[in-house]
Structure 1
Amino acid sequence: MSRINLLLLVAVLVSGMVLIRSAYDSRRLFTEVDRARAEAQRLESDHQRLLAERHAQATNLRVEQVARERLHMRVINPAVTQGVDLVRPQAASGVAR
């Protein structure tokens, strides 16, 4: 009888250790899931902020401002435009067919 009692005691102890280990693992995994959700939420808010910034940078007014300041472009008007006459290559070389 004592052999069965000893075997049952070992089984109870092993069962208790497995229970403690599984509870520890579940808490650890829950913490990791919580951290991953917080990171996903942070990344989503960063993504939304970056989309808003991209939209703000792509407005026509912003593009025109950058073209003036960085590229030194200006609005066209008849005073600064130059016309170009297209001459046919045959007529330019003086050879007639």
Structure 2
Amino acid sequence: MSGRLISLMTLLLVMSALSLINSQYQARRLFIELERAQARAKQLEIEWAQLQLDQSSLAKHARIEASARRELNMVAVSPERTQYLVMGAN
């Protein structure tokens, strides 16, 4: 009976050791995955900041006006080119 108890205890010890090894492996794997996700999040934050900077520089009034003049051949409104509409006039 003592041999059977020793075998049972040995089996339990081996199963416990294998369970410990498996849980340590899973913890390491999850930690590596977490580090990768954090690095990706940091990279995305950097890209977001760059995109916000680009957007602010592209939305400046002077740049938009220069682009309208250059690409669309637009000019500023002058008083001699302005037409006024009066109600009741024929």
Taking structure 2 as the reference length, the TM-score comes to 0.89
Aligned length: 89
Q: Which runs of 5+ in 2 are unaligned?
A: none
Alpha-carbon spacing, 1:21–1:85, altered in 2? closer, same or farther (3 Å) = closer
Q: Structure 1: give runs of 5+ residues left out of the alignment.
A: 93-97
In the other structure, the counterpart of 1:86 is 86
**Separation in structure 1 between the aligned mates of residue 41 and residue 53 of structure 2, nearest angstrom:** 18
Larger radius of gyration: 1
- Over 3 Å counting, the alpha-carbon distance change for 1:69 and 1:9 in structure 2 is same
% same residue: 31
Q: Deviations over 1:33-89 (max 9, x none)?
A: 00000000000000000000000001111111121123221122234x14334241x
* Structure 1 residues 4 and 74, CA gap change in structure 2 (3 angstroms): same
Structure 2 CA distance, aligned partners of 1:86 and 1:63?
A: 32
Equivalent residue number for residue 26 of structure 2: 25
Q: 2 CA distance for matches of 1:38 and 1:74? A: 48
Mapped to 2, the partners of 1:2 and 1:11 lie a distance apart of: 14
Supply the AA of the counterpart residue of 2:83. G
